[in-house]
Chain A
């Protein structure tokens, strides 16, 4: 007997006992309970009458360097990180939006160099890039950019590079991050946030 049939039987039994109570019992409170049982049983039976479908979680994917062959692969991984672990999409949108809490990242990969992107992620306060496009007062946003390479988000360098690859791809730019830059675990990491430590890259290549 399938689970649905079992539940249907329970539902029918509940409705039936409710009906019996209404037919046989005179005590008002018990009758009301019978009535409630009928209503609840019918509700369950209605819900059981549509085809049943559970929603399964997707398979959890791990960042595995062995599977990354091309910059496009990196961008694909970067896309996933951007919208989940990196929490970027909690504030940023790609394309204009009413609910944007932070600057729109559409075309950002074309506007900014990858070094500048890396610095914005790891040293968000190093160079505040004011959004002058709209004219007048610089736009104020409700959220403050956190350090992406530190807790609680804590992306690794590989992950940050992937996100940059994704941003460049989304701007219709050739991806300038290469697969060779990824650190293979086990080998001694060569200064994980090298770019970030070499001081602010104060030149925004805005055009």
Chain B
């Protein structure tokens, strides 16, 4: 994994050489910031105040809630354009108007969601300046050039967004549509930079690098390229797609539940399908990105790695396994419901394979959720000889967890393929051979993953991490990358035996969609806590110590309470945004 990481970073750094525009921008920023320098020199050394607090709530809790909400909203605002743009491209390529309508429906949310995100960002900034002057001074000193880049990015992003949204209807045909698609691309392009610039501030706090003397820009640039910057960027990018997809699913689920006529039911059923599809699409590679991030953290600092995986936060990862497990189960459940309800007559045909997939998923989940250090009473611990179970303790280590998460990804991928193929009959002459090949691939991949996982116990950790885990990931990716185009090719010539029927899903499908969205949001809040408390008592890890009264990391239960609160508040904000954005549609619909 490290090799790839290095390769990727080199590629990006190479790209920097050609990005003349970007460096010109940096220069411009540097020039613009010169007056600021002079201004800064006049100011006397900052007052000795290092922290401020507010009564009852506590400064840390308030910053926690606001920062988490800002991040969730940002994830939403960055995820939705990717989602909308993908839909628009699909509509453009296939000529299916409903995708265009869907894309527009979601872009409409963006303007208000964007403002809300900026609002929370502003509140967060004021709170940070008020509560953590010491930290903010330190970070400003290093990063002020990129603060200004960030502002500029916001300007262009806002302009692009306005053009993209208000120009939607005006740019529908021919070249205008092409330009509109290009605008959508630029929107995502700027949004990506809007994401990675603040990521560099946050990742610098977790994995700082030493800063030698140099110009301000050189220092900011050096601090930006810290070891966990790109892993976090990639992880967040994928996670934003997942969030966008599942929130779309949840919205469709709620609208489906309260739909009043067949037309609405059709539309929102279909929308839920698209949302879940895109969510799963992002979910499948997400664990790999997470693994890369975790590995970089471990390599950056052993203490931080152990705090996360085996130490203070190890129970957090059991909770994470629980949430991811529910997410995987929920997504598969929705696929399976789709097969039995949308494709009449297919239920009995697929029941057996669904059962076996369900059993594999549950077994994997059982392994994943088995902690290394168990919760046990004194009596139980005595019988086991410690808090490690002599037999099931082997499930508690990385080798087992990697194996089962790969298997779960494989199974979910199978569900997805099964759903795709349901109700169609392949007519190609080579269909039989292709199907045999695909099942052989899946079975072989499954066996290989398990063999590597078991073997992993008997080799030194470094071989397991560098070769075995990487091979497992490669095998799964290879299976996905070969079977997907093969199936697409196979289905091109297939004839449809049963048309999909929309609007027949039971209410529990709507609830499953809502559940999936809640799981994704909870996971994001959970990992936000993990990222923050893996720094233990440091603001900037190993460099700037947190000497406030909130230097401790709260226990998991208390943290979970705040996570749940954040999730709820975020859901309410999103619901409000949806409500505001669709108000005029409803009014129009009732007038006509």
Interface residues of A (CB under 8 A from B): 3-4, 7, 10-11, 14, 28-29, 31-32, 35-37, 39-41, 43-44, 46-48, 50-58, 60, 83-84, 87, 89-91, 97-99, 101, 143-147, 152-153
Contact = CB atoms under 8 A, between A and B. Distances in A.
Contacts of B227: 99
23 contacts: A10-B561, A11-B561, A14-B564, A28-B254, A29-B575, A32-B253, A43-B323, A46-B319, A46-B560, A47-B319, A50-B557, A53-B556, A55-B536, A57-B536, A57-B551, A60-B545, A90-B210, A90-B542, A90-B543, A97-B299, A99-B2, A99-B299, A146-B210
A28 B312 contact: no
Contacts of B571: 36
B386 interface: no
Contacts of B560: 43-44, 46-48
Contacts of A3: 558
Nearest to B209: A90
Interface centre among B318, B536, B564, B568, by most A CB within 10 Å? B564
B536 A87 contact: no
Contact of B514 (A35, A44, A99): A35
B556 A50 contact: yes
Contacts of B257: 28, 31-32
A10 B551 CA distance: 26
A98 B299 contact: yes
Interface centre among A11, A29, A46, A57, by most B CB within 10 Å? A57
Contact of A54 (B511, B546, B555, B561): B555
Nearest to A4: B557
B322 interface: yes
A44 B555 contact: no
A58 B536 CA distance: 10
> Which 6 A/B pairs are nearest by Cβ-Cβ distance?
A47-B560, A57-B537, A48-B557, A28-B258, A52-B555, A40-B564
Contacts, number: 127
A41 B555 CA distance: 17
B212 A43 contact: no
Interface in B516-569: 518, 522, 533, 536-537, 542-543, 545-547, 551-561, 563-564, 567-568
Given A52-B558, A60-B545, 9 more contacts: A35-B514, A35-B515, A37-B568, A43-B564, A44-B564, A54-B552, A54-B554, A87-B210, A97-B299
A56 B552 contact: yes
Interface string B294-319: 00000110000001000010010011
A125 to B, nearest CB: 10
Contacts of B211: 146, 152
B42 interface: no
Contact of B542 (A37, A44, A84, A97): A84
B258 A29 contact: yes
Interface of B: 2, 208-213, 222, 227, 253-254, 257-258, 299-300, 307, 312, 315, 318-319, 322-323, 375, 511, 514-515, 518, 522, 533, 536-537, 542-543, 545-547, 551-561, 563-564, 567-568, 571, 575
A10 B125 CA distance: 31
A58 B212 CA distance: 29
A172 B158 CA distance: 61
A55 B557 contact: no
A147 B213 contact: yes
A47 B257 CA distance: 30
A187 to B, nearest CB: 27
A51 B542 contact: no
B552 A57 contact: yes
B557 A36 contact: no
Contact of A91 (B210, B299, B543, B546): B210
A47 B300 contact: no
A58 B538 CA distance: 11
Given A47-B560, A87-B210, A146-B210, A29 B543 contact: no
A90 B204 CA distance: 12
Contacts of B253: 32
Contact of A29 (B254, B518, B542, B546): B254
A144 B210 CA distance: 8
Contacts of B552: 54-57
Given A36-B518, A43-B560, A143-B209, A53 B555 contact: yes
A87 B543 contact: yes
A54 B315 CA distance: 12
A194 to B, nearest CB: 23
B533 to A, nearest CB: 7
A98 B559 CA distance: 35
Contact of A40 (B213, B258, B518): B518
Nearest to A56: B552
B518 A39 contact: yes
A14 B571 CA distance: 16
